Amino acid sequence: MAIGGVVALVLVAGLYFGVMRQSPGEQQETPQESTPEVVQLSPAEQQQALLDQAQKLADGGDYPGALAKLSEAEKIQGPLGNRIGELRKSFNDASTNTALAQLQKQEAQVWSEAEGHFNAGRFDQAEKSFRQVLALPEGGRRRADAQRYIREVIPGRKKEEGLFAQAQPLAQQRDNEGRLQEADQLLQQVIALNGPRRAEAQKLQEQVKQRLTQLAQEKGDAERQAQITSLENEIQQDIRRENFLNARQKLEQIRRLQGDPSRMSGELDRAEQQQFSQLEGQFNSARSQENRQALERLVPEFRKLAEAGGAVASRARNFADNKIPKALSDLEAASRPAPTPPAPTPAAASHSISCTVFPVTARKMDRPVSAGSTQGQAFIDGGVVLSAGANCGLSSAALQGVAENVQAMIGVTIDESGSVADGRVLSGDTGLGQAALAAAKQSWKFNPPKVNGVSVKTTVSVTIKN
């Protein structure tokens, strides 16, 4: 019948933790001067508070005062009308029945003892006392309350205390992520029970979550640093292998990981500069010795430096595209005998034009290739093959102003279809070079360039001889 004691306990706990709870911002700024949060009680809670007061007055024998509290509760028009009626009858009966009043007084004493054990956390003793309430003769007001404590409230509080006791030591494991996660789950269960430990559990859970966040950040930082260290080691290996392009790509990965690439970038710059100086020395030596094969072997080495995109890239590209082709052209011109005057024949019949792709040593591409990107001639699958037609596509009219027994070298850019997209005269006879460049853009056809099966663009040098 009576549920006043139980609801009173829940109401008191709710008022305590609700009224004293403050917002996080207020706790940080002025924790000792924060204004308590105002709790608006529902009609049922307002009625129950008055019923609890009435019970206390009745326990002391003040039945008129107890009935007055019931009248106040009735005016609120809440859902506890039946309970108010039951207590009014019980109070009236006890006020005229000495034996009943004595029984309820005895019940109140046992109930007070049970509440004292319960509030002190002595749940086994509290259960024993609540069972004594049930053992009293019929006529008491708190039998239903005692049963509720035994069946629901005490088991709930035991569960809450047990979960909180398990969570506390786990929450102190500052560097054990698994234990902290277990503590978080246990504390969440405590909070869901909405008991007296709720506020403590919320505070402790916040500390646990902060530490878990910190651990996750520390773990991420450690993993990121391990990746950076691994990339630095790989860059040093690439430098030793003179694979400068791969090294620079790994420098970019370090930047994306928010690492500091300055030390490795400096090492790479010095290695590229040293390599460039060596190749420049080999170029000067090969040119002075008129060693055509040595000059040709330098082209892919300079291109490799150019493709890496470092500080020496533009100078390396100038050697590959201009200086070496010019040196080769000069050697070719110096090796030819002086031309003899031609017999007076029609100009068109005296011309026989040849065009040859400047050869480079084939190499295998060992990194991913993007479709449509520009790749070095050395990496093209099967090499570069030119189809230019008779007299390299130059018409008789185009050759009218070109001297005989001359040569030129042009550089052309080949698109994915094998057509000439652009070009320029690199060295030799300007008239022949310009005529050949015009024919190249109009009619020359190369095999569509591919690297590892991916369609790309490329550039080649072509020697034209008249």
354: nearest Cα among 394, 327, 402 = 394
Could you write out the DSSP letters of every residue in 288-350? Answer: HTT-HHHHHHHHHHHHHHHHHTSTTHHHHHHIIIIIHHHHHHHHHHHHSPPPPPPPS--HHHH
Binned at pLDDT 50, 70 and 90, residue 112 comes out as: very high
For 22-27, the CB contacts below 8 A with 24+ separation are none
Arithmetic mean of pLDDT, 331-337: 79
Q: How many domains does the chain have?
A: 1
Distance CA 464, CA 386 (A): 12
Supply 402's token pair. 């070109």
Let me know: does 219 contact 227? Beta carbons within 8 Å. no
Binned at pLDDT 50, 70 and 90, residue 74 comes out as: very high
User: Is residue 252 scored above 80 in pLDDT?
Assistant: yes
Residue 245 lies in a domain: no
Residue-level pLDDT at 394: 86
Residue-level pLDDT at 40: 75
Binned at pLDDT 50, 70 and 90, residue 20 comes out as: very low
Question: Which amino acid, one-letter code, is at 32?
Answer: Q
Identify the bridge partners of residue 450 per DSSP, sorted by sequence position.
Answer: 455
Q: How many Å separate Cα 30 from the centre of its chain?
A: 37
Question: Which amino acid, one-letter code, is at 383?
Answer: G
The 8-class DSSP code of residue 153 comes to I
Arithmetic mean of pLDDT, 318-341: 83
pLDDT in tens, 353-411: 889 998 888 888 888 989 999 998 989 998 899 998 888 988 877 777 777 788 999 99
Arithmetic mean of pLDDT, 420-439: 90
Q: Domain of 456: which CATH number?
A: 3.30.1150
Q: In which element (H, E) is residue 422 found? A: strand 420-428
User: Is residue 50 scored above 70 in pLDDT?
Assistant: yes
Binned at pLDDT 50, 70 and 90, residue 306 comes out as: very high
Let me know: does 408 contact 382? Beta carbons within 8 Å. no
Structural domain boundaries, residue 458: 350-363+373-466
Residue 381 lies in a domain: yes
- State the pairing for strand pair 457-465/407-414: antiparallel
22: nearest Cα among 7, 33, 35 = 35
Binned at pLDDT 50, 70 and 90, residue 338 comes out as: low
Residue 388 lies in a domain: yes
Contacting residues for 124 by C-beta, under 8 A, at least 6 apart? none
Let me know: does 212 contact 192? Beta carbons within 8 Å. no
- State the pairing for strand pair 420-428/457-465: unpaired
Lowest mean pLDDT among 24-38, 288-302, 406-420: 24-38
Residue-level pLDDT at 141: 87
Distance CA 21, CA 202 (A): 11
pTM: 0.48
Return the biggest CA–CA distance within the chain: 155
- State the pairing for strand pair 374-375/354-357: unpaired
Residue-level pLDDT at 362: 86
Arithmetic mean of pLDDT, 18-23: 36
**Which stretches of 322-429 are DSSP H helices?**
324-335, 347-350
Let me know: does 416 contact 453? Beta carbons within 8 Å. no
User: What mean pLDDT value characterizes the chain?
Assistant: 86
Residue 400 lies in a domain: yes
Residue-level pLDDT at 14: 41
261 or 14: which leads in pLDDT: 261
18 or 106: which leads in pLDDT: 106
User: Is residue 7 scored above 80 in pLDDT?
Assistant: no
Q: Which of 18-22, 39-43, 313-317 is most confident?
A: 313-317
106: nearest Cα among 126, 135, 82 = 135
Binned at pLDDT 50, 70 and 90, residue 8 comes out as: very low
Residue 80 lies in a domain: no
Residue-level pLDDT at 351: 62
Supply 462's token pair. 């072509």
